[in-house]
Structure 1
Amino acid sequence: MSEMTNKSIEFLLKELNSWVGSEITIEKEELNDLDKNTIALSGVEIVRQLEDDDDYVDPYTIQLQGHGSVIKDDRSSVDLPLDSYELPLHQLESIEASAELLTIKTDRAKYTLKK
């Protein structure tokens, strides 16, 4: 990872750790598809993923820990499969932050996190 990427990741971790204890909404836009999730954020950490021959899984992710839900199109919800949500770090393009909003862009998707 480049020095700029390391600084961006450090900044992102600091921001997310300040949100621990909050209920957050995560919107992921990828190829004209929008996924929406909520999570009661209880922790944040960097996780190394298993090797992936297809280059689909990022080598490192930021894992948002806590109980969460997937919000369906009809506004009903189901529990997240795990008590976590992963944000990819590979090909991180930009991070924008305010008191209650984080926007993270990668080469594959745009993530908008709201407190």
Structure 2
Amino acid sequence: MTERTLTVEEFNQLLQQWSGETIKITKQELEDEDSIIMQLNDISYETDTRRLDEYEPMHALHLNGTGTTQTNEQELQPLPSSMYEIPLEDSTQYQFEGDRFSLVTERGSYTIERVR
């Protein structure tokens, strides 16, 4: 299957279909990589026009559910919150290939994939 670029609306429509699924989220930012396994219960978005600085995102994708994160010692720990936030920018690139989404921002890249 070939990777295709999505609009934010297409991304949202496809991702909403994954509610109730188990997903893996991988974040690569600078030299840091985190992986999370989550039972996805709900998907929401937030817009914050009153940001205090540029590090706070104007838009954010909230993946809500329960899950675990893998530590540097390869141990699984419960998520500290039932919500995982992905900062979104106007320039975010959304891509989809089969059972995997890729989001590329100025800060880093995120992969969201189904766990079978």
TM-score (norm 2): 0.84
CA distance in 2, matches of 1:108, 1:58: 11
Task: Please say if 1:38 is aligned against 2:40.
Answer: no
Structure 1 regions of 5+ residues with no counterpart?
1-6
TM-score (norm 1): 0.84
CA distance in 2, matches of 1:79, 1:50: 31
**Alignment RMSD, CA only?**
1.7
CA distance in 1, matches of 2:106, 2:15: 21
The structure in which a higher percent of residues are strand is 2
In structure 1, the partner of 2:9 is 10
Letter in structure 1 aligned against 2:106: D
Write out per-residue CA displacement over residues 9-62 of structure 1, whole angstroms, 9 at most, x where no aligned residue.
211211211111111111111112111111100111112347332211102211
Letter in structure 2 aligned against 1:59: M
Paired residues in the alignment total 109
Q: Percent identity, aligned pairs only?
A: 25
Structure 2 regions of 5+ residues with no counterpart?
1-5
Letter in structure 2 aligned against 1:45: S
The structure in which a higher percent of residues are helix is 1
The answer to which structure, 1 or 2, has the higher relative contact order (CA under 8 A, 6+ apart) is: 2
Could you tell me whether the CA contact under 8 Å between 1:95 and 1:103 is conserved in 2? yes
In structure 2, the partner of 1:64 is 63
